[in-house]
Amino acid sequence: KAGVTQTPRYLIKTRGQQVTLSCSPISGHRSVSWYQQTPGQGLQFLFEYFSETQRNKGNFPGRFSGRQFSNSRSEMNVSTLELGDSALYLCASSTTSGGAVETQYFGPGTRLLVL
Protein backbone atom coordinates (compact mmCIF):
# COMPACT_ATOMS: atom_id res chain seq x y z
CA LYS A 1 0.00 0.00 0.00
CA ALA A 2 1.12 3.51 -0.68
CA GLY A 3 1.85 5.59 2.39
CA VAL A 4 0.41 8.91 3.44
CA THR A 5 1.17 11.62 0.93
CA GLN A 6 1.19 15.35 1.56
CA THR A 7 1.36 18.19 -0.92
CA PRO A 8 3.09 20.48 -1.32
CA ARG A 9 6.25 19.51 0.54
CA TYR A 10 7.47 23.08 0.91
CA LEU A 11 5.71 26.44 0.88
CA ILE A 12 6.77 30.02 1.34
CA LYS A 13 4.08 32.59 2.07
CA THR A 14 3.92 36.11 3.43
CA ARG A 15 2.06 37.41 6.45
CA GLY A 16 -1.65 37.88 5.87
CA GLN A 17 -1.90 35.33 3.08
CA GLN A 18 -3.77 32.06 3.36
CA VAL A 19 -2.60 28.56 2.58
CA THR A 20 -4.17 25.16 1.87
CA LEU A 21 -2.36 21.91 2.53
CA SER A 22 -3.45 18.54 1.23
CA CYS A 23 -3.20 15.02 2.62
CA SER A 24 -4.04 11.68 1.02
CA PRO A 25 -4.35 8.90 3.60
CA ILE A 26 -3.43 5.27 3.24
CA SER A 27 -6.08 3.44 1.24
CA GLY A 28 -8.86 2.23 3.52
CA HIS A 29 -8.04 4.58 6.39
CA ARG A 30 -10.98 6.81 7.31
CA SER A 31 -9.40 8.84 10.10
CA VAL A 32 -7.04 11.71 9.33
CA SER A 33 -5.33 13.89 11.92
CA TRP A 34 -3.24 17.02 11.55
CA TYR A 35 -0.36 18.19 13.73
CA GLN A 36 1.85 21.25 13.88
CA GLN A 37 5.50 20.65 14.74
CA THR A 38 7.78 23.48 15.84
CA PRO A 39 11.11 23.44 17.70
CA GLY A 40 9.62 25.35 20.61
CA GLN A 41 6.25 23.64 21.06
CA GLY A 42 6.96 20.18 19.71
CA LEU A 43 4.07 18.22 18.20
CA GLN A 44 0.70 19.80 18.76
CA PHE A 45 -2.60 18.27 17.73
CA LEU A 46 -4.72 20.40 15.40
CA PHE A 47 -7.78 18.30 14.56
CA GLU A 48 -9.00 14.89 13.52
CA TYR A 49 -11.53 13.95 10.85
CA PHE A 50 -13.43 10.73 10.46
CA SER A 51 -15.92 10.07 7.67
CA GLU A 52 -15.96 13.74 6.64
CA THR A 53 -16.72 14.95 10.18
CA GLN A 54 -14.40 16.78 12.53
CA ARG A 55 -14.39 14.68 15.70
CA ASN A 56 -11.73 16.38 17.75
CA LYS A 57 -9.99 19.72 17.79
CA GLY A 58 -6.87 20.96 19.52
CA ASN A 59 -6.29 24.34 21.04
CA PHE A 60 -5.67 26.45 17.95
CA PRO A 61 -7.36 29.66 16.80
CA GLY A 62 -10.17 29.65 14.27
CA ARG A 63 -7.74 30.65 11.52
CA PHE A 64 -6.89 26.96 11.35
CA SER A 65 -9.57 24.88 9.68
CA GLY A 66 -9.88 21.66 7.80
CA ARG A 67 -12.15 19.35 5.94
CA GLN A 68 -12.32 15.81 4.71
CA PHE A 69 -13.76 14.54 1.47
CA SER A 70 -15.75 11.41 0.75
CA ASN A 71 -12.58 9.63 -0.45
CA SER A 72 -10.97 10.41 2.97
CA ARG A 73 -8.53 12.93 1.50
CA SER A 74 -8.18 15.91 3.77
CA GLU A 75 -7.19 19.54 3.49
CA MET A 76 -6.24 22.05 6.12
CA ASN A 77 -6.40 25.78 5.64
CA VAL A 78 -4.69 28.55 7.52
CA SER A 79 -5.99 32.06 6.92
CA THR A 80 -4.31 35.37 7.71
CA LEU A 81 -0.91 33.80 8.17
CA GLU A 82 1.34 34.95 11.00
CA LEU A 83 5.09 34.53 11.38
CA GLY A 84 4.48 32.05 14.18
CA ASP A 85 2.64 29.72 11.81
CA SER A 86 5.97 28.72 10.28
CA ALA A 87 6.20 25.02 11.06
CA LEU A 88 6.18 21.48 9.75
CA TYR A 89 2.57 20.37 9.32
CA LEU A 90 2.11 16.64 9.61
CA CYS A 91 -0.84 14.58 8.51
CA ALA A 92 -1.50 11.13 9.92
CA SER A 93 -3.97 8.54 8.78
CA SER A 94 -5.17 5.92 11.19
CA THR A 95 -6.44 2.43 11.35
CA THR A 96 -9.68 2.32 13.28
CA SER A 97 -11.71 -0.29 15.07
CA GLY A 98 -15.37 0.48 15.55
CA GLY A 99 -14.51 4.07 14.71
CA ALA A 100 -11.87 4.32 17.43
CA VAL A 101 -8.34 5.21 16.34
CA GLU A 102 -5.77 2.45 16.73
CA THR A 103 -2.44 3.36 15.12
CA GLN A 104 -1.39 6.52 13.28
CA TYR A 105 0.83 6.56 10.20
CA PHE A 106 2.43 9.86 9.28
CA GLY A 107 3.16 11.57 6.01
CA PRO A 108 6.44 13.40 5.30
CA GLY A 109 4.94 16.75 6.19
CA THR A 110 4.60 20.14 4.56
CA ARG A 111 7.15 22.70 5.66
CA LEU A 112 5.59 26.15 5.73
CA LEU A 113 7.69 29.28 6.01
CA VAL A 114 5.89 32.58 6.61
CA LEU A 115 7.88 35.71 5.81
Partner 1 sequence: GDSVTQMEGPVTLSEEAFLTINCTYTATGYPSLFWYVQYPGEGLQLLLKATKADDKGSNKGFEATYRKETTSFHLEKGSVQVSDSAVYFCARFDNYGQNFVFGPGTRLSVLP
Q: Which residues bind partner 1 (CB under 8 A)?
A: 4, 6, 33, 42-43, 45, 48, 55-56, 58, 90, 92, 100-109
Q: Closest approach of Cβ 110 to partner 1, in Å?
A: 10
Give the Cα separation of 48 and 34 in Å (integer).
6
Q: Closest approach of Cβ 32 to partner 1, in Å?
A: 12
Q: Closest approach of Cβ 57 to partner 1, in Å?
A: 9
**With respect to partner 1, which residue has the nearer C-beta, 15 or 57?**
57
**With respect to partner 1, which residue has the nearer C-beta, 17 or 106?**
106
**With respect to partner 1, which residue has the nearer C-beta, 10 or 62?**
10
Q: What is the DSSP string of 26-94?
A: PTT--EEEEEEEETTTEEEEEEEEETTEEEEE-S--TTEEEEE-TTS-EEEEE-S--GGG-EEEEEEEE
Nearest CA among 76, 2, 83, 62 for reference residue 34:
76
Q: Closest approach of Cβ 46 to partner 1, in Å?
A: 10
Cβ neighbours of residue 39 closer than 8 Å, sequence gap 6 or more: none
**With respect to partner 1, which residue has the nearer C-beta, 33 or 85?**
33
